[in-house]
C-alpha cells in the first residue's frame, strides 16, 4: 500500500547526487502512469527531466521539484546511512528527506488521494521534475523543460515548487519570490617580477584592491517592500603563491550578486565595469546569469495557498523572498503564478538531514487542499 513513508523510502534509496537521477524518475513515472498521467521526457545529458500531465483543459496546476540531492559528505558523521530512510521517534532521516524528496513523496500522495476522490476534476494536473537543480547543470533542467513546453504551446496557470520553504512549522512561510543571481569570474593580468624590483613588475593584487574595496561597500539600492537590498559578495580570490619573493603575474576573482527587482543584470554588469574603468582596470570578465528575480504578489494561487494553510493549520503564513535561488526563477518569467511551499528547511544540505513525519503528512494535506481549491471549478 502506498504511503508517504513507502514512497520516500524508495526515493531516498536512489543515490541521486546531482546531476544524476539514479532511477528516481523512472519510479515516479511508473507511479504517475498508473494514475493515467501522460509523460514526456526532456533529458539533457547529464540531467534527467520529465513533464507529466493528466487532463487537457485549463487551468493547469503543476507541481515542480527535483530528484537530485547534494553529496552526503562524511558518511561516518551520519547517525543513520544517508541513502536509507530511517524513522526515529517520528523523524525521518536521510539525504533528501527535506530537500526535496520529502516534498515529492507528499505531492505523490496528495495526487493519488485527489484523483481517487475527484477522478473527473476540472482542468489539468501536472509535474515538472528535474535532476539538475542542485548543481552547475541547472540550465539543462527546468529552464530547458520550460522552453520545450513553451514551444509546444503549453503554459501552466499555477506552479507549486516543493522547495523547503518553512522555518519552524510547515506552512509558516510561503516563498513568493526570490532574488536574482549574477556570478562573475574575473581575470586581471599583471606582470610577474621580483619583489625587490617592483618598478619592473605590475602587481595585480595592488591594482585591484581599491576597486574591490569600493565594490564591497557599494550601496546598490535599498531594496523594497518585498526584497532586501542588493548584495555583492566575493567568493574566491587567488593570486601568486609561487614564492615569497615573486610579484604575481595575474589575479583570479569570483563574486556573486544577489539582487532585487530594483535591478537588472545589465545594469549590474555596467556598474561593475564602470568601477573597474574608474580604477583604470580592464580585466577579462566571464558572466553567468543564474536567474532573474521573480515575485508573485497576488493572484488565485497565492490567495488559495493562504486560505488552505489557515484552514488546515490555523496559521497565517508569512510571505517571503528570502533565501537562495530556486527553479521558480525559470518558471515565473512565462507569466505563471509561482509559489514555494515545502517542509522545514533547518537541516537541508546538512549531515543527518531530517524531517518530521507529521510535517510531510501536513504538507501532503496542504497540496491536496490546493488541488481541490484550484481544480474543482
**Residues paired with residue 299 on neighbouring β-strands, in sequence order:** none
Residues classed as catalytic? 68, 133
Distances (CA, A) of 158 to 139, 245, 286, 326: 22, 61, 35, 16
| Cβ-contact 306, 316 below 8 angstroms | yes
Backbone angles phi, psi at 29, to 5 degrees: -60, -45
| Cβ-contact 210, 305 below 8 angstroms | no
Spatial distance between the Cα atoms of 88 and 69, rounded to a whole number of angstroms = 22
State which H helix or E strand residue 149 sits in: helix 142-151
- CB-neighbour burial class of residue 77 (10 A; exposed 0-12, middle 13-18, buried 19+): exposed
> What is the DSSP annotation of 86-108?
EEETTEEESTTTTTTHHHHHHHH
| Cβ-contact 320, 173 below 8 angstroms | yes
Q: Show Cβ contacts of residue 279 under 8 Å, excluding neighbours closer than 6 positions.
A: 207, 208, 210, 211, 214
Amino acid at each position: 500500500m502506498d504511503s508517504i513513508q513507502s514512497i520516500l523510502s524508495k526515493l531516498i534509496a536512489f543515490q541521486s547526487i546531482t546531476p544524476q537521477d539514479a532511477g528516481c524518475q523512472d519510479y515516479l513515472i511508473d507511479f504517475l502512469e498508473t494514475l493515467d498521467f501522460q509523460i514526456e521526457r526532456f533529458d539533457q545529458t547529464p540531467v534527467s527531466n520529465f513533464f507529466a500531465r493528466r487532463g487537457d483543459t485549463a487551468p493547469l496546476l503543476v507541481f515542480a521539484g527535483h530528484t537530485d540531492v547534494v553529496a552526503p559528505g562524511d558518511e561516518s558523521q551520519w547517525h543513520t546511512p544517508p541513502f536509507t530512510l530511517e524513522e526515529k521517534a517520528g523523524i525521518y532521516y536521510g539525504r533528501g528527506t527535506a530537500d526535496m524528496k520529502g516534498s515529492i513523496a507528499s505531492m505523490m500522495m496528495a495526487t493519488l488521494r485527489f484523483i481517487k476522490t475527484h477522478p473527473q476534476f476540472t482542468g489539468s494536473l501536472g509535474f515538472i521534475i528535474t535532476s539538475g537543480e542542485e548543481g552547475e547543470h541547472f540550465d539543462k533542467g527546468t529552464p530547458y523543460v520550460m522552453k520545450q513546453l513553451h514551444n509546444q504551446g503549453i503554459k501552466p496557470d499555477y506552479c507549486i515548487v516543493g522547495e523547503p520553504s518553512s522555518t519552524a512549522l510547515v506552512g509558516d512561510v510561503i516563498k513568493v519570490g526570490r532574488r536574482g543571481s549574477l556570478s562573475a569570474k574575473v581575470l586581471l593580468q599583471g606582470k610577474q617580477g621580483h619583489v625587490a624590483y617592483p618598478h619592473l613588475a605590475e602587481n595585480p593584487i595592488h591594482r585591484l584592491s581599491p576597486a574591490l574595496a569600493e565594490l564591497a561597500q557599494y550601496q546598490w539600492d535599498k531594496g523594497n517592500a518585498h526584497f532586501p537590498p542588493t548584495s555583492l559578495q566575493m567568493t574566491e580570490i587567488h593570486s601568486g603563491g609561487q614564492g615569497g619573493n615573486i610579484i604575481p603575474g595575474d589575479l583570479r576573482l569570483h563574486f556573486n550578486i544577489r539582487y532585487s527587482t530594483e535591478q537588472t543584470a545589465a545594469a549590474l554588469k555596467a556598474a561593475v565595469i564602470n568601477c573597474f574603468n574608474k580604477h583604470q582596470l580592464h580585466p577579462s570578465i566571464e558572466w553567468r546569469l543564474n536567474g532573474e528575480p521573480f515575485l508573485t504578489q497576488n493572484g488565485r494561487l497565492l490567495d488559495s495557498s493562504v486560505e488552505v494553510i489557515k484552514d488546515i493549520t490555523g496559521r497565517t503564513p508569512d510571505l517571503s523572498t528570502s533565501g537562495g535561488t530556486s527553479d521558480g526563477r525559470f518558471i515565473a518569467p512565462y507569466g505563471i503564478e509561482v509559489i514555494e511551499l515545502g517542509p522545514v528547511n533547518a537541516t537541508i544540505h546538512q549531515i543527518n538531514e531530517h524531517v518530521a513525519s507529521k510535517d510531510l503528512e501536513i504538507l501532503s494535506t496542504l497540496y491536496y487542499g490546493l488541488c481541490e481549491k484550484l481544480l474543482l471549478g
